[in-house]
Amino acid sequence: MGRKGIAIALAFAVLAAVSLLAFSPKVAPQRSLAPAIFISCDEEGNESRIYFSISAETGEVSVDATDDAHFGKSWGRYLEPASFDYSPLTGEVRFDGKVWRITGEPGARTLENIETDYGALWGTYYEDARAASEAEPYHYER
């Protein structure tokens, strides 16, 4: 294969790569985070969870939070399913007036609440349940 053949093959390879990038389906950043569950434990070992989900019917993504031991209490951690913004470039997730930083590899990521518009920071949640149980427990602001 001469220089001309190599040049033509290289041109086709570049064209194929550009076409693949231009016409491939785009993955929304939110879809790259969902589905995932992050856990944090209080001083008594009760779990609070943050769920990033994808609806099977609509394909829409949402986030919600549950607090098993303190469901419905004004100081408990609870969030109805809501939308969220996720930037993989900065590692920031925003929802319910809070800013979170996500770090680590899938399966062992941490989600740390770094800013809030109201109330106390929720601390750090862990994708690995063992890491959550071994981490320093959080305390409720009552």
CA pair distance 50, 95, nearest whole angstrom: 11
State the number of CA atoms in the 13 A half-sphere of 65 facing the CB.
20
Q: Is the pLDDT of residue 30 over 90?
A: no
Q: Is the pLDDT of residue 22 over 60?
A: no
Quote the pTM value: 0.78
Residue 130: the pLDDT is: 96
Q: Mean pLDDT score of the chain, rounded to an integer?
A: 85
CA pair distance 141, 122, nearest whole angstrom: 10
Per the model's pLDDT, the better-predicted residue between 21 and 28 turns out to be 28
CA pair distance 99, 32, nearest whole angstrom: 18
Q: pLDDT grade, residue 15 (50/70/90)? A: low
3-state secondary structure of 12: helix
User: pLDDT tens digit string along 79-104?
Assistant: 999 999 999 999 999 999 999 999 99
